[in-house]
Structure 1
Amino acid sequence: MDVVNTAQAEAWNGYEGEHWADHHDRYDAVNNGFDAALLEAAAIGPRDHVLDLGCGNGYVTRLAARRAPLGRALGVDLSAPMLARARALTDQEGVPNAAFEQGDAQVHPFPDAAFDAAVSRFGIMFFADPVAAFGNVRRALREGGRLAFLAMASPAGTDLGTVFAAIAPQAETVTGHGGPLSMSDPDRVRAILGAAGFRDVACRTVHAEQVWGRDAADAAEFLAGWGPVRHNLGDGPGLRAAITDAMRPFERDGAVRLRSTAWLVHARR
């Protein structure tokens, strides 16, 4: 496997990847509310070949494969722990036209013009060189092929932003201006995709309810283990207590439910 994004490869093959693999169902509960908007933007047809970038545990790869029963879906990710989970879940769920490869999408040797659509659910914010990465993805798409992805927006003004504000002076202390928020500026996104050769670039905000846990204490335990929180704020009982207090107002209907916002981006080769 050729890797240029070495720092991310280390993270996703260490604690971060193991946490996502071990808690795949919980991360999906957080992010599933955005799936319908992503798949609608990708406009996957029954014979399409679909590329899922930063596929993680493969949930979106399997959704794409089911929408293309006469085609296929390929998930690519740096993380061996998550890819192992993705393959196991795919076998368990019986999705024969979904497959997975370990690779760095920035340099992975995708076949030229092999895919009708490329999608990503929050898996494209971590490229070392995003122009090179999206240029490589563009090469893998056929002429007129579609790119659709979700990127984390600033949490300011959202329920998650309220939680972060209660445990850190600024939300960016938790998420960082790079990393999860690296694609949160639509002007930057348009510039990157334009430089990579994409056309008809459009960005819009989408909203969803995220389920973080059964109750405030359960949600706090989970959020405290999320990589950016653990890395920036530590891993002590005081942090869990602060998150629990911040989560408590959002307990309803047997779960902690937070309103969240993301950027939905779509473009064409």
Structure 2
Amino acid sequence: MSETTAVRVDPSNERMLKAWNGDEGALWAKRAQRFNDGVAAYRDVFFSAADIQAGDRVLDVGCGAGQTTRDAAQFATEGSALGVDLSGEMLGLARRLADEERVPNVSFEQVDAQVHAFPEAGLDVVISRHGSMFFGSPLAAFSNLARATRPGGRLVLLTWQPLRLNEWITTFRTIFAAGREVPSVNLALSDPAETEGLLTSAGYADVRCTAVNKPMYFGQDVEDAADFIVEQHGGRLSDLDDATRAKAVETLRADLAEHQTDRGVFYGSAAWLVEARRP
């Protein structure tokens, strides 16, 4: 586990640093392939919008274990791809995978994209697959990214639509509440009007949010999916008695069985494909 003191972050991101450079990041590193498989259906539409050219300099914000960064580098054959994240453990995995896959034009840095001094106008494309929703101060973050994007450069994000449109989130939140009240929460960047206003204020233009709905993969069968989901969300049951915890897990398995297909266990998901340009 990495030392949090080694990473300079904006005070508003201290909580995110503690989580992603700690237990949360360790879990995501351990399950990196499953998390990538989960949203794999979004890959083509995401990179089609990014339209990365051979000589482009690409920044991947919240890159995690680096799958999207390595994919970007494969498009930017004469350019480069830099992945940044707060998780030292995930970045370590990202570097190992890049070496194993022999991707020479990719690099990774453990920095807070909200405050990091990227070279001014030094980027052609900024991308983020579900990694741009965790900034303590989104306006400060996107202003910093806009400063680093060259005139005419592009920003492409994948963010979640509201909770009610994401079957997987609402289902698992309800099951792991185990009869208790399900806390209300608003997903960052889930409102197109707010996102457009935010990115315009930050210095981007021509903001467009396109609804994209894809099936999300959770495992090859019920037990495989249950192991993954309980590992990720089971902590929400820790304060309950054994019988209540067991009932919640059985409820989960029953719901997973209803979503079993011949290709695995899938739930509906809904994302926004956000595109913008630096004027």
Whether these two folds match at TM > 0.5 is: yes
Corresponding residue for residue 266 of structure 2: 257
The change in CA–CA distance for 1:233 and 1:120 in structure 2 (over 3 A counts) is farther
Larger radius of gyration: 2
Structure 1 residue 242: deviation in Å?
2.1
Shift, 1:158, TM fit: 4.4
| 1:254 Cα offset (Å) | 4.3
CA RMSD across the alignment: 2.0
C-alpha offsets along residues 209-244 of structure 1, whole Å, 9 cap, x if unaligned? 221012122212212233xx3455548444322211
Q: Are 1:148 and 2:153 matched, yes or no?
A: no
Superposition TM-score, scaled by structure 2 size? 0.88
CA drift at 1:154: 2.2
Equivalent AA in structure 2 for residue 140 of structure 1: A
The 5-angstrom pairing of residues 93-242 of structure 1 reads 93-161=101-169, 163-164=171-172, 167=175, 168=177, 173=182, 177-178=185-186, 181-226=187-232, 229-230=233-234, 232-234=236-238, 236-242=245-251
Deviations 1:168-208 (A, max 9, x none): 489x947x625xx1111111111211111110000011122
CA distance in 2 between counterparts of 1:89 and 1:24 reads: 11
Quick check: 156-165 or 102-111, which moved more?
Answer: 156-165
- Return closer, same or farther for 1:106/1:230 CA change in 2, 3 Å cut-off: farther
- The partner residue of 1:8 within 5, 16, 20 is 16
CA distance in 1, matches of 2:78, 2:230: 42
Task: Indicate if the aligned counterparts of 1:198 and 1:267 stay in contact, CA closer than 8 A.
Answer: yes
Three-state SS of the structure 2 residue aligned to 1:94 is coil
Distance 1:154 1:223, change over 3 A: farther
1:87 aligns with 2:90: no
Gaps of 5+ in 2: 1-6, 240-244
Structure 1, unmatched stretches of 5+, are: none
2: CA distance between counterparts of 1:230 and 1:187? Answer: 34
| TM-score, length basis structure 1 | 0.91
Q: Secondary structure at the match of 1:184?
A: coil
Distance 2:44 2:193 in 1: 24
Q: Secondary structure at the match of 1:156?
A: helix
Cα 1:241/1:58, change in 2 over 3 Å:
same
Identity of aligned residues (%): 42
CA drift at 1:156:
2.1
* Displacement of 1:161: 4.9
